[in-house]
Amino acid sequence: MKNNELQNSGCIMLITGATSGFGEAIAQLAASSGYNLILCGRRKERLQAVQESLGACVLKCLTFDVCNEEATKKALRAIPDDQVPQVLINNAGLAVGTGAIDEGAYEDWNRMIDTNVKGLLHVTRELSPRMSSGARIINMGSVAGKQAYPGGAVYNATKFAVDGLTKAMRMDLLPRGIQVAQVAPGAADTEFSLVRYKGDEQKAAAVYNGFEPLSAMDVAEAVLFIVSRPPHVSIQDLLIMPAAQASVHHVKRTNS
């Protein structure tokens, strides 16, 4: 057993959106750091595959849609008192569509708001009352929650909401000794763009043309860095960008 495994041994981390991208990478890194894990997502077979690859450190997989208040309550209230997580990673989220505000689809807007804002609220409302002093919550924000861009209005709005929620949650939970942080990545090559472009692989791949985006593991390392700080250290907000991306509007591509 390595030192960091010893330190985290028995510590429970719950990750939403653990079936792919950042969530799966966080699960892998947390497993190798000695955490016990509760993995959440909608795709059951994906969760099972992650569980199989990580072994006994996965305490359970919870299959539910964070948008669904009742399903979230049912899944999270079934967690016994001795398995309440010390670390909650509110990571599940998505962008759908790139329509301008005068042409965007209501269905896309609802999915983004319901998942990125209400989903985070549902999970936090269920777990935070049961978490104890010294616990940490990490919300997955985005550079899109700090800078707006054309075609991003509703995704921007949801991630600006995560930015605001993170700040207010930190104040609300301060008296109980629960730390709240935001990780805000720039462009990262996960299933994110495939979801945003509704399965169009060419459009999704074009997002990362001519520069090296972040990998899911780059973001996972940032998350594990935050949760492994000593108890008196609170990293509140971490913006992590590809070297080729100075802002959402400034990307240095080799082919442009």
Binding-site ranges for ligand NDP (CB under 6 A)? 16-23, 41-43, 46, 65-67, 91-94, 115, 119, 140, 142, 185, 187-188, 190-192, 195
Helices (H), the chain: 3-8, 21-32, 44-54, 69-77, 106-112, 120-127, 153-173, 192-196, 201-206, 216-227
How much helix, strand and coil, in percent to the nearest 5, is found in the chain? 45, 15, 35
| 96 touches, from ligand NDP, ligand 8X3, none (C-beta below 5 to 8 Å by class) | none
76 binds ligand 8X3 (CB under 6 A): no
Angle CA 17–18–19, to nearest 5: 95
Out of 112, 187, 204, 226, the only residue in the binding site for ligand 8X3 (CB under 6 A) is 187
Residues 145, 240 contacting (CB under 8 angstroms): no
Residue 248 binding target from ligand 8X3, ligand NDP, none, CB below 5 to 8 Å by type: ligand 8X3
Respond yes or no: is residue 155 known to be catalytic: yes
Tell me how far apart the alpha carbons of residues 84 and 116 are, in angstroms, rounded to a whole number: 22
Q: How far apart are CA 46 and CA 50, in angstroms?
A: 6
> Is 248 an interacting residue with respect to ligand 8X3 (CB under 6 A)?
yes
Tokens of 223: 């998350």
Q: How far is CA 91 from the centre of its chain?
A: 2
Nearest approach in angstroms of CB 134 to ligand NDP is: 25
Kind plus residue range of the DSSP H or E element containing 14: strand 12-15
**Is residue 127 at the binding interface for ligand 8X3, with CB under 6 A as the rule?**
no
Q: Check binding of 216 to ligand 8X3 (CB under 6 A).
A: no
The one of ligand NDP, ligand 8X3, none whose footprint includes residue 13, by CB under 5 to 8 A per kind, is none
97, interface contact from ligand 8X3, ligand NDP, none, CB < 5-8 Å by kind: none
Does 143 bind ligand 8X3 (CB under 6 A)? Our answer is yes
Helices (H), 78-119: 106-112
Asked if 117 contacts 142 with a C-beta cutoff of 8 angstroms, the reply is: no
Radius of gyration over every alpha carbon of the chain, rounded to an integer in angstroms = 18
- Residue 125 is encoded by which pair of tokens? 């409302």
Q: Nearest approach, Cβ of 31 to ligand 8X3 (angstroms)?
A: 25
Pick from ligand 8X3, ligand NDP, none: which does 17 bind, CB < 5 to 8 A by kind? ligand NDP
User: What does the DSSP 8-state code read for residue 80?
Assistant: -
Question: Which of 35, 106, 155, 197 is the catalytic position?
Answer: 155
Residue closer to ligand 8X3 by CB (options 8, 142) is: 142
Q: Does 26 bind ligand 8X3 (CB under 6 A)?
A: no
Shortest distance (Å) from residue 202 CB to ligand 8X3 = 17
Binding residues for ligand 8X3, rule: CB under 6 A, are 142-144, 152, 186-187, 248
Catalytic residue numbers, as ranges:
155
